[in-house]
Chains A and B, each alone.
Chain A
Amino acid sequence: MQEYIKKAYDNIGLPRLIIAGFFLLVLLSAVPLGLNIATLLGDTLRRWAMYGILVLAMVPAIQCGIGPNFGISLGIVSGLLGAAISIELEIANPWLAIGVAMLVGTAIAIVLGILYGMLLNNVKGSEMTVSTYVGFSVIAFMNIMWLSLPFTNGDLIWPIGQVGMRNTISLSNTFGGLLNETLSFTIGQEGKGLFVPTGLILFFFLVCVIVWLFMRSKTGIALSAAGSSPAFTRSSGINVNKMRIIGTAFSTALGAIGIITYAQSYGFLQLYNAPLWMGFHCVAAVLIGGATTKKASISNVIIGTFLFQGLLAVALPVINQVLPESNLPDVIRLIISNGIILYALSKTKGDK
């Protein structure tokens, strides 16, 4: 029995126990504050599934050896571009619209991902730094592009001046909430109970399964080997650089699908600087889930995203209650989210 507990403890790891404990503590402290626990849990569930695919994008990147993909913004802007093109085409059927958005976004992401992978092959050893800068640069570059791309749909561009795209683009006319509403149900009273976005969760799981299958395919196994031991992989006649490019492109493509999933749940496309820090949140989530900069699994993603997003979803309303009517909640939100990232990065080595 004792051995069993020790084994379970080793599997879960101290950081996750601490964060899970903290999560429960904050959740319990919401009760005396008069907050609706069902709503908080519903939020946790929704955020978990809407961020999940973006975090999942870290798996092929880490496994192929480029480390946590801070440059996931590249995939994110591809997805945003895909969604914008889908809206521009005014596709009536929301399923078709989201399908087109994902296909176009993925196509752009794969092309950019291949180029990005080639870049990363030239900077082996400092991928984390370079990918961070790639992430920032592409956002800055797209800031110019969002202003100058020739979109004409009224939903996309500023109503005054007719030039440049809006900061936030409502998806209510196309695929906003599409996955969330599918097969959804509420436990308890409508509006107050625990809302379960079944379609969103199922889609997240579906992508998880696809990635899991990919990692067990011939290419996926070669890619993981390339990440963990380039010398070994070469000795089996595999082109390590090619595997790294495949992993990077796959990660970028997942970023594109991830942001579209995120946007449909949120209800808006957020352009310009909105995705600037998303890469960090994704990296933090997967690291909290127990991944290292060298090894990541699907379960790391599922656990990590739940803890990271759950903590944010629960902690913020609680702080709002404790410290009302000031801008402190916002400051504390930053401290908490960045604190988690720092903690996660400090745990990149030494535990699994």
Chain B
Amino acid sequence: MSTHFLLNMKNISKEYDGNQVLKNVNLQVKPGEIHALIGENGAGKSTLMNILFGMPVIHSTGGFEGTVEINGEQVFIDSPQKAIDYGIGMVHQEFMLIPGFTVTENIKIGREISKPSLLSHLFGKGMETLDFEQMARDARKALSDIGLNIEEYIQVAGLPVGYMQFIEIAREIDKTGIKLLVFDEPTAVLTESEAERLLEIMKVIASKGIAIIFITHRLSEVKNYADSITILRDGEVVTHKDIKDISIIEIAELMIGRKVEKLVDLAEDTRTLSDSDIALSLKNFHVDMPGERVRGVDLDIRKGEIFGIGGLAGQGKLGIPNGIMGLYKAEGTVEIFGKKLDLSKLGSALANGIAFVSEDRRGVGLLLDESIELNIVFSAMQIKDEFLYHLGPVKLLNQKQVRQHALKMIDLLDIRCTGPTQKVGSLSGGNQQKVCLARALTMNPEILIVSEPTRGIDIGAKKLVLEYLAKLNREQGMTIIIVSSELVELRSLCDRIAIVSGGKVSAIVKPDAPDAEIGLAMAAG
């Protein structure tokens, strides 16, 4: 084949607030090929696609470096409309369909075909009547192109999820002059047979000369359906190959990458962990957390252990701590030091000595409008009746005690603030995280669960938070469970790491397990 590329993105670099998310990335896609774009969460896939689509988020943050060529011609895409004009389409992961409209209307929305009417002569183009027949014909054609056998006049509401995905695709290929379609994790929400069908349709579309960029986490799909592959890691292209030249294991290995950096210096390990001394035990644990469903997890976490839970986004790793804390509906058995937890009762985990630092810092973790001191003592006050004056049935805030404790915590965790009365909403991410941690520690927990402890905080604060967790574990023997998307931090801290995929634990690995093993466990299911 010649070196004719439909899309050629060259030396793309992008930084957000001094944070380099893409470094000299090249992406070349030939017409009619299915090109897989693979990478961990945060590897830069979304940013690259946002650049391709000229999303406002790119241009409002200073644009990007590098060039984009379409059919060998350099283009400058600064708005999604321009991207559409150049024939680039996107099939979204969440369906952007209007439930009350028919299939035709959804396919044709924004590009309706109209014909003049009496009113339009008087009031202009906005009053033209719609040419439903022509629109229905177009919709019919688009649907049959992708082999979907449904009537174009039925309403979208009530259709199976799989069909909605196909209607999205039909809408994209109905656009005249479509040359490139981006599929962003199209199979994530589909059943197995639906997914297979979708992949077949992708092949059909590709055979018509339309190029496809295929973003997915399922490596078997990549191996079976893609023609070539680009793997991103930490904002850089690690490889670009034809699919026949690479194995699944190689893909997994390259995706994870050997990260040698040591994030924390651990103190000497004097702990003795025993398989019979179990701090937290999960049996057949299910959590109904939207986007992070847990479908039957069995885990035994030993007392005094630092246990990591990793996995890709949307696979259910976040559902585990949220389910234990009772924030989402959970089923199954949770035992804390052999004592069964009443999952239907809110706060029962807290009352039994588990403290939780949420991944959703601003939503769940903090009262942004309140002071640092109130945030720190809130849970202990509510659950354990601390920091209160007890006047018969009346329990009033003991301001003096609160202040003392807050000052101690600010000092201990090095929270940078103007004082204990500063509102947490005005703190930086790292300091907010320290406040969350302080709140959890104020509970004096036996088991501490931290979810995404370093998300959105700078490297210095990251190190401090992780080292403090290690210190708690080594010096106080606290059992710590870390849920994180950052494999490197799990590896540098944990004794064991459970990899969650498809709502189940696909493997429990040692922190020094080979990349391929972890990569495959992540992509399983």
Contacts and interface: CB of A to CB of B under 8 A. Distances in A.
Interface stretch (A71-79, A136-144, A227-235): A227-235
Name the residue in A219, A225, A235 with the highest tally of chain B Cβ atoms < 10 Å from its Cβ: A235
B336 interface: no
A231 B363 contact: yes
A14 to B, nearest CB: 20
A232 B367 contact: yes
A213 interface: yes
B374 A221 contact: yes
A34 interface: no
Interface stretch (A236-244, A257-265, A318-326, A332-340): A236-244
Given A216-B397, A234-B327, A295 B365 contact: no
Interface string A243-268: 00000000000000000000000000
A228 B369 CA distance: 8
Name the residue in A221, A222, A238 with the highest tally of chain B Cβ atoms < 10 Å from its Cβ: A221
Contact of B383 (A229, A232, A237, A295): A237
A217 interface: yes
B363 A213 contact: no
Contact of A222 (B326, B346, B364, B382): B382
Interface stretch (B64-72, B195-203, B350-358): B350-358
B378 A225 contact: yes
A236 B347 contact: yes
A6 interface: no
Interface stretch (B36-44, B103-111, B223-231, B388-396): B388-396
Given A218-B382, A218-B385, A222-B382, A235 B364 contact: yes
A232 B370 CA distance: 12
Contacts of B365: 232, 235
Q: Interface extent on B, as a size class?
A: 20 to 34
Nearest to B357: A235
Interface in A288-302: 295
Contacts of A222: 382
A236 B396 contact: no
Nearest to A235: B364
B148 interface: no
B277 interface: no
Contacts of B368: 228-229
A232 B366 contact: yes
Contact of B382 (A213, A228, A238): A238
Contacts of A236: 347, 350, 378-379, 382-383
Interface string B316-351: 000000000111000000000000000000111111
A337 to B, nearest CB: 31
Given A231-B363, A232-B367, A236-B379, A217 B397 contact: yes
B298 interface: no
Nearest to B347: A237
B360 interface: yes
Nearest to A295: B369
Contacts of B379: 236-237
B378 to A, nearest CB: 6
A295 B368 CA distance: 13
Interface in B140-173: none
A213 B399 CA distance: 12
Contacts of B346: 234, 237-239
Given A234-B346, A236-B383, A221 B394 contact: no
Contacts of A237: 326, 346-351, 379, 382-383
Given A229-B367, A236-B350, A238-B347, A218 B383 contact: no
Contacts of A217: 394-397
A39 to B, nearest CB: 42
A231 B364 contact: yes
Name the residue in B356, B366, B379 with the highest tally of chain A Cβ atoms < 10 Å from its Cβ: B379
8 contacts: A217-B394, A217-B397, A218-B382, A218-B396, A228-B370, A229-B363, A237-B348, A237-B349
